[in-house]
Structure 1
Amino acid sequence: MEIDWGLGEYEWTGTDLAPAAQVLVTAAQVDGLDVVDLGCGTGNVALLAAERGAHVTGVDPAARLREVTAARAAAKDLSVTVLDGTAAAIPLPDGSADVVLSNFGVIMAPDPQAAADEIARVTAPDGRVLFTAWPQNAALDGLIGISVQAVAKITGGPPILAKPVWDDADAVAGLFGPHGFKVSSARHQLTFVVSSPAEYWNTRMLLHPLGAKTVPLLQEAGLYDAVEAESLAYLEQLMPEFPVDYVLMSLERSQVLTVAS
């Protein structure tokens, strides 16, 4: 099932993920560099990088989110170019990015190897790639899994979850190794605040693009009420806040690749 990330109001989730964007941009040391924010979403990374003097291009397939990023940049008088594209089809020349960043964006790419190949293509020979990824999180996976597993029963397909490859340093090295990158990783933590189960359900769940896509399926199958009740009960156990681990992956080219003539 394809998800249009412009559905709903991803801004709620974007706010929750803003602290990770700060960690990502700080680690990248982007001052004065040509930066690509891949899967720019609501623009958290793009704006932070531009504020630090980077020349930023945001790339996202969702038209509405591109508009959100552009509007936020204009409101702050920041120069951010926003383009239509995906991790596997970045509309930029070879070697044009000093740094490619992605805050929980590239991890949704349906073909990890195609995404890695394309990111490597646009990254300069001495460039860097940094992105955040979700490892296995008991609390978060359990909450999301209630809806995802119900949808899987309806569709008869596998659960809609991000591929776990992106949080594994060895797997990422396998994707990017042929392009001369070495990989390092570090664990960080976000804290999600649950002001009330109903508030979290109505904003982070129902207004998330995944929720906006799946709720009609649940309603049509007569499963919505049961999923909502189970989710609210689960959220009640998590109140008032719960920590969620994430991984910061940092990639640098260990060698400059040359093509034999």
Structure 2
Amino acid sequence: MSDIDWGQGTYETTAADLRPAARELVKAARIQPGEHVLDVGAGTGNVALLATELGARVTAVEPAARLREVIAETAGARDLTVVDGTAADIPLPDGSVDVVLSNFGIIFAPDPAAAAAELARVGKPASRILLTSWLPGVMGKLVEIIAGTVREVTGRGNPGGPGIDWHDLNALSALFSPHGFEVTATTLELAITTASAEDYWETRFANHPLGVTTFPLLQRAGRLDEVHQRFLQTLADNWTTPSGQVQLPAQYLLATAVR
């Protein structure tokens, strides 16, 4: 999200939840040794680190300074370069990348058309782009409890919300086809489990960069307690087992664009 500092809070918890999707993304890319792989919105480096294990030369683009430090510390001696940048502003030459990957990262680009053009610019003539995005359902319902209340309080749209439906194959085709890409996609599911609804709230939202950014605003408006209770009730009604454990079956799209 464009107006959120993803280095705030403890994004590491969410990043750990997303590792299975990162593995699926890297597997689908069929990376070959020596290829130059670009990880856009790299977070803590899930995708970038996996790509290095396949013998790729990897560049991780991440706008949050703290997360860049996390990646650099974890990378060690791997062939991994970490740079400051965004999906629409990548500090790499034209035609220098074989594979572009983004695991739930580019979907927060404030200008999707500019982001698509930038990925096409840095890609080689035969480059491929693979990205993941949430399908309507679990994540959308939970985030909307917070984002919808923020809209009511501020009178503005979603904080840094996406400009297109990244889960819509037609929308992706319209975005990438002007740059010579043909887009295909498959639907996968990511299981997220926590000990309780309150644990999910604390570890995945209250300390997530989204929560760190928006909860003070909701608190000042006198709406945070209400949002908290609605959030817990939604989890209880839909994704909580009799033992109290939360089990989220979050579906997502894995899209591939080739030219």
TM-score above 0.5: yes
Report the counterpart of residue 15 of structure 2 in structure 1.
14
The AA in structure 2 aligned to 1:195 is A
Give the deviation of 1:219 after TM superposition. 0.9
Task: Supply the AA of the counterpart residue of 2:254.
Answer: L
1:38 matched to 2:40? The reply is yes
Q: Which residue of 2 aligns with 1:83?
A: 83
Match of 1:247 among 234, 249, 253: 253
Q: Deviations over 1:109-143 (max 9, x none)?
A: 00010000000000000111101011211x32222
Q: Does 1:180 align with 2:180?
A: yes
Specify the alignment match of 2:25 in structure 1: 24
> How large is the RMSD of aligned CA atoms in angstroms?
1.3
Q: Is the 8 A contact 2:164 2:171 kept in 1?
A: no
The answer for unaligned runs of 5 or more in structure 2 is: 241-245
Deviations 1:137-194 (A, max 9, x none): 1x32222211111111111112333344321222111111121111111111101113
Q: Answer yes or no: is 1:47 the counterpart of 2:49.
A: yes
Distance in 2 (CA, whole Å) between partners of 1:15 and 1:164 is: 26
The 8 Å contact of residues 62 and 85 in structure 2, kept in 1 or not, is answered as yes
Q: Distance in 2 between matches of 1:83 and 1:91?
A: 8
TM value normalised by structure 2: 0.93
The CA distance in 1 between the partners of 2:197 and 2:248, in whole Å, is 13
Q: Gaps (5+ residues) in structure 1?
A: 254-261
Q: Indicate the SS of the match to 1:204.
A: helix
Contact 1:116/1:175 (<8 A) preserved: yes
Which residue in 1 is equivalent to 2:243?
Answer: none
1:259 aligned residue: none
Residue 90 of structure 2: SS of its match in structure 1?
A: coil
User: How many residues are treated as equivalent by the alignment?
Assistant: 250
Query: In the alignment, which residue of structure 1 is the partner of 2:231?
Result: 231
Q: Distance in 2 between matches of 1:29 and 1:143?
A: 33
* Distance across 1 between alignment mates of 2:218 and 2:154: 10
**Equivalence for 1:66:** 68
Q: Distance in 2 between matches of 1:34 and 1:132?
A: 20
Q: State the secondary structure of the residue aligned to 1:165.
A: coil
Aligned-pair CA distance for 1:233: 1.9
For the pair 1:166 / 2:166, whether they are aligned, the reply is yes
Q: Is the 8 A contact 1:116 1:176 kept in 2?
A: yes
- Aligned twin of 2:154: 155
Confirm or deny that 1:134 pairs with 2:134.
yes
Distance in structure 2 (CA, Å) of the matches to 1:170 and 1:157: 27
Contact 2:107–2:162 (8 Å) recurs in 1: yes
| Identity %, equivalent residues | 50
> How far off its partner does 1:31 sit?
2.6
DSSP 3-state at the match of 1:167: coil
**2:111–2:163 contact (8 Å) kept in structure 1:** no
Task: Give the letter aligned to residue 66 of structure 1.
Answer: R
Q: Which stretches of structure 1, 4 residues or longer, exceed 4 Å deviation after superposition? A: none
CA distance in 2, matches of 1:241, 1:197: 9
> How far apart, CA to CA, are the structure 2 residues paired with 1:79 and 1:24?
19
Distance in 2, Cα, partners of 1:3 & 1:111: 15
Question: Aligned partners of 1:103, 1:150: CA distance in 2, in Å?
Answer: 27
* Corresponding residue of 1:122: 122
- The question of whether the paired residues in 1 share the 8 Å contact of 2:112 and 2:164 is answered with no
Secondary structure, in 3 states, of the residue corresponding to 1:217?
helix
Question: Structure 2: which amino acid aligns with 1:93?
Answer: P
